[in-house]
Structure 1
Amino acid sequence: MRYVREESGFSYWLITRYAEARQALLARELSNDPRRLDHRVDAHHAYSPMANNDPPDHTRLRKLVAPCFTRRRIAALEPRAEQVVGELLDAVAQAGRADAISDLAFPLPVLLVCDLLGVPTEDRASFGVWAARMLSVASGPRTGVERSRRLRAYFSRLIEAKRAAVPSGATAEEQPDLLCALIAAQRESGSLTDEELVGLAVLILVAGHETTSNLIGNGLLTLLLSPGQLALLRADMSLLPSAVEELLRFEGSAGQSSLRVAVEDVEIGGTRIPRGSVVNIGLSLANRDPAVFTGSDALDLRRKPNPHLAFGHGTHFCLGAPLARMLAEKALGALLSRFPSLALAADPADLEWRQISILCGLTALPVSFDPEKGGT
């Protein structure tokens, strides 16, 4: 752990070791509520687009939405995920070239989140455009606020349109999609405001989409730059689940947690952090801690156990983790199986990255492969 003061004057405690990161992620003395951060913290450091708050509000809201991301529910989406991946690859199969981001990594989670939320079929093309604009790097604070406002306005209209389809007294478990389930939960509990309901829809978009898109893109690039490990995976596709976990550890999209602020004095790893201090938990640094991960700077698709912190830890563990894992397995597995000659079609130094708060992903990833002949 070290104390960092940037040229701008912004200062914080940077946590770099795995044990300290886990301790900090569990510490109740460290608030995840951005409203507790000093007003001098800029947009890059302030907070992620996900809903950040503390118990009891965080506990109440998470309890409502967490059942929608269970292994059982995600497993039920697998046939649809396979279908969408197949259709997206069909569209580029004869070209011999593709952008793995715009042709696969971005649209795949958008379409699956649409299924999860119950976005009408006629809105899905537009929804993808709105999501792209919402999740792109804003040219300024006003642009980001306006994009967020428009997306929230869409969800507000959609929720109101769905209310009539949710019978009085119906339970959340009986509903055909997540928005209907949240409407039923709102009626049942009486503790969910309309503003919070819309906020949860936006949260699910980001948690279910951005994490997944970056995992697929970052993970594919890592594999293409690691020919030995790529050959290992091609020879034994049963390694795919452990490969995804190692890609998360090695090149996860969240290099750090959202910033925390100490609401009271707290000791982390033997260091006293005074009340009011800002804490930055370096997830990517913790995931390379040699005290926990043997050969921590090497990609090892066979690595077990692999207790990485790519999705966080504790009460703020990423809700989109099960969906991200499943879609990454489907996308990477299909790409490698269908296109044996898949290769990077650009100089790695020329690739561009986008940073959205704590999340980092590629803007494009050109790849080449032997085109499929005839129809698909």
Structure 2
Amino acid sequence: MHTQPDLDPLLGFSPYRLLTEPDAVHQRMRREAPVRLVREESGFTYWLISRYAEARQALREPSLSNDPRRLGHAVDMDNAYSPMANNDPPHHTRLRKLVSHGFTRRRIEALTPRAAAVTDDLLDAIAPTGRADLIADLAFPLPVLVICELLGVPTQDREAFRTWAARTLSTTAGPRTREERSRRLRAYFTRLVAAKRAVVRPGLAPDEQPDLLSALVVAQERQSVLTDDELIGLAVLLLVAGHETTTNLIGNGLLTLLLHPDQLRLLRDDPSLLPSAVEELLRYEGSAGQSSLRVAVDDVRIGETLIPRGSVVNIGLSLANRDPKAFQDSDTLDIRREPHPHLAFGHGIHYCLGAPLARMLAATALGALLGRLSGLALAARPDELRWRRISILCGLTALPVSFDPVRPETSGT
């Protein structure tokens, strides 16, 4: 096997570096082999996959395990909260099939009017002011409120969830604090599931249930293959992972458009481009810069490189999404780009189940924002922006903007 040099740690790969120094990272990676051994400053060593064809192959490779227990102490396990995202077949297949019964396109489409109403309410609050933080005022609250609707969290608890989410996703909290907040969240969902079980209508099919938790309860009772612990874990996954990733997509996507005023103007002039704009932002902006780490359970050849059994593998999704061999003018943001075979939501059996929800929320937020607020501009220098890093994700802590104030009597739709 060809021995490859270690990557200079100063140009290491991470979502944070991709978002703050994209040119340096992409240029360096393109000079290197598509599959290469990387040693971080901490001493942690893994195989980095940085090209589209190899990344797509790796995402479908059954010899690369997605179970974090195989990683031992190599990674922070705080984010291994999902019984579905962090498992391999057949366990993963069973759980995903159960969740898919309730997480249907029909259910997401039914949420769209509610997402639009929440977005309008949030914009009503800022429209008269002419200034806002689009993370705190839009990108952060919108997903948590809509996901609460999806799960069936009672209305009286939803504002409390906004506060909880802000605290839970804080990077300043220590491990003990995060563990305690996670414990409280699981306890809350345990009580909520018990309440759903007491009133659920078992005669209705899962996709006819009023909310996703009720659908999961019915699926559990009908098939008897979903434990209470797994059900609670799925609820936590949908709230925590779905919220963080969608907040980052909206926030980082808005920043990307603000830094590309020609594309922002094009989208404002032609709202029919919203679906393709969301796909291009997913490809281009890179907040989920990598997949969850995999472990090679056997020797496996990815592209032309043999990865030995027991190796840790890091699939660089954002790097693959800028591969010039897969995307023409790959470093250019083009909201009219078609088609969109990007890997932002992964590929294969671990393709993100919440992708339709994230797409819907991003399109709703962008469409309402550009339709209602004129003169939108970044109210800070790009180098003044700060980033929140959680595991493989990276998002803005704040996105200050200015715009033309809208008199209260003319705001809304």
Counterpart of 2:129?
A: 95
Distance 1:176 1:209 in 2: 21
Distance 2:257 2:376 in 1: 11
Distance 1:173 1:229 in 2: 38
Distance 1:82 1:364 in 2: 22
Cα deviation, 1:118-137, whole Å, max 9, x if unaligned, reads: 10111111111112222222
Give the Å deviation of 1:322: 0.4
Q: Bigger CA drift: 72-81 or 241-250?
A: 72-81
Give the Å deviation of 1:168: 5.0
Secondary structure of residue in 2 paired with 1:164: helix
Give the Å deviation of 1:141: 2.2
Q: Bigger CA drift: 60-69 or 224-233?
A: 60-69
Alignment of 1:292-331 (within 5 A): 292-331=326-365
1:358 to 392, 395, 406: 392
Counterpart of 1:52?
A: 86
Secondary structure of residue in 1 paired with 2:170: coil
CA contact (8 A) 2:279 2:340 kept: yes
CA contact (8 A) 2:101 2:207 kept: no
Counterpart of 1:195?
A: 229
Does 2:311 align with 1:277? yes
Alignment of 1:143-162 (within 5 A): 143-162=177-196
Q: Bigger CA drift: 131-140 or 76-85?
A: 131-140
Distance 1:116 1:363 in 2: 25
TM-score under structure 1 length normalisation: 0.96
Distance 1:48 1:321 in 2: 20
Cα deviation, 1:218-264, whole Å, max 9, x if unaligned, reads: 00000000011111112211111101100000013200000000011
Give the Å deviation of 1:169: 5.2
Distance 2:357 2:38 in 1: 35
Does 2:193 align with 1:135? no
Distance 1:320 1:206 in 2: 12
Counterpart of 1:42?
A: 75
Cα deviation, 1:256-309, whole Å, max 9, x if unaligned, reads: 000000011111001111110000000110000000111111111111112110
Counterpart of 1:259?
A: 293
Instruction: Report the CA distance shift for 1:298/1:49 in structure 2 as closer, same or farther (over 3 A).
Output: farther
Counterpart residue identity of residue 42, structure 1: V
Q: Bigger CA drift: 336-345 or 138-147?
A: 138-147
Distance 1:57 1:164 in 2: 28
Alignment of 1:229-248 (within 5 A): 229-248=263-282
Distance 1:208 1:66 in 2: 15
CA contact (8 A) 2:140 2:247 kept: yes
Give the Å deviation of 1:208: 2.6
Instruction: Report the CA distance shift for 1:237/1:48 in structure 2 as closer, same or farther (over 3 A).
Output: farther
Distance 1:160 1:358 in 2: 33
Give the Å deviation of 1:140: 2.7
CA contact (8 A) 1:48 1:258 kept: no
Counterpart of 2:23?
A: none
2:150 to 106, 116, 119: 116
Secondary structure of residue in 2 paired with 1:77: helix
Counterpart of 1:182?
A: 216
Distance 1:49 1:373 in 2: 45
Give the Å deviation of 1:6: 1.7
Distance 2:80 2:288 in 1: 10
Secondary structure of residue in 2 paired with 1:80: helix
Give the Å deviation of 1:163: 1.2
Distance 2:48 2:80 in 1: 17
Give the Å deviation of 1:17: 0.4
Counterpart of 1:346?
A: 380
CA contact (8 A) 1:47 1:358 kept: no
Counterpart residue identity of residue 268, structure 1: I
Identity among equivalent pairs (%) = 72
CA contact (8 A) 2:131 2:400 kept: yes
Instruction: Report the CA distance shift for 1:171/1:70 in structure 2 as closer, same or farther (over 3 A).
Output: closer
Distance 2:116 2:227 in 1: 36
Secondary structure of residue in 1 paired with 2:93: helix
Counterpart of 2:55?
A: 21
Q: Bigger CA drift: 12-21 or 355-364?
A: 355-364
CA contact (8 A) 1:30 1:263 kept: yes
Distance 1:170 1:156 in 2: 22
1:107 to 141, 155, 161: 141
Does 2:388 align with 1:335? no
Distance 1:192 1:42 in 2: 28
Secondary structure of residue in 2 paired with 1:367: strand
Counterpart residue identity of residue 100, structure 2: A
Distance 2:191 2:304 in 1: 51
CA contact (8 A) 1:248 1:310 kept: yes
